[in-house]
Amino acid sequence: MTISALALVAVVVAVAATVQLAAGFGFGLAAVPLLSIPLDPHDAVVVALTLATVTNAVQAVTGRGHTDVGVAGRMLLGAVVGLPVGLVVFLNASDRWLGALVGVAVLVAVVVIARGLDLRSTGPGLDVGAGFLAGTLTMSVGVNGPPLVFVLQARQFDQRRFRSTITTVFAVLDVISVVVFALSGDLAGDTLSAAGAAAPGLLVGALAGAALRRHLDAARFRRLVLVLLTVAAVSAVVTALAG
């Protein structure tokens, strides 16, 4: 890879880490589309997941006291089934149509969340289903947040509970995904070079995101979540149509 390409990777990762530390999710949705400029789309997914493992693990550990263990456990149970499905999609499916489908689904979720959907009384199957979708999206497109965000927002989680629970799920999914990619030979060559070059950007972005987070009250946090989901959805649909 050229020096300019590696520099672009570092800048993209800094932005993605800022988003992740501020909102508790969003690394993949911010990083994957932009990393696809200097990298192959599949390599972009691998690099994003590898680096997101660091930010998610740190947040999961530091916020463990606020994690809803039951919800996180059920989401991970569903994800165990979804991960191999996502790997099959990653290897065989059209990125274009999958991206379009994800984008439309997320836009629907944004509308539903914005209208104040309350699913606090819904049974555990909702968490398992969200985990399945997240697992599938983790291995296929590298943007696994929307179904988990939808459920946690609809369950009316506050900021600390939301961040701790979702990053716990992300951290486990990311570790599994990175191991799978390493065993399959996808984590090598340019992907390792890109991940290494992005380390300074990851640190700068994490510090910026942590500082920004202190200024988010409940209303601003909710708006940030809706904006990030909308950006992810529109980006997915536009990319699919342009492709």
pLDDT tens per residue across span 112-161: 777 777 788 889 999 999 999 888 887 777 677 788 988 998 898 998 99
Cβ-contact 39, 14 below 8 angstroms: no
Percent of the chain's residues with pLDDT above 90: 27
CA–chain centroid gap for 145, Å, is 4
Per-residue pLDDT tens over the stretch 193-216: 888 888 899 999 999 998 988 888
| pLDDT one-digit tens code per residue, 164-180 | 999 999 899 889 888 88
Single-letter residue type at 20: Q
> Residues 83-116: pLDDT tens digits?
888 888 877 766 667 667 667 777 877 787 777 7
Nearest to 225 by CA among 237, 213, 240: 213
Q: Amino acid identity, residue 141?
A: V
The band of 38, judged by pLDDT with boundaries at 50, 70 and 90, is confident
Q: Buried (b) or exposed (e) across 73-94, using 16+ Cβ within 10 A?
A: bbbbebbeebbebbbebbeeee
- pTM score: 0.80
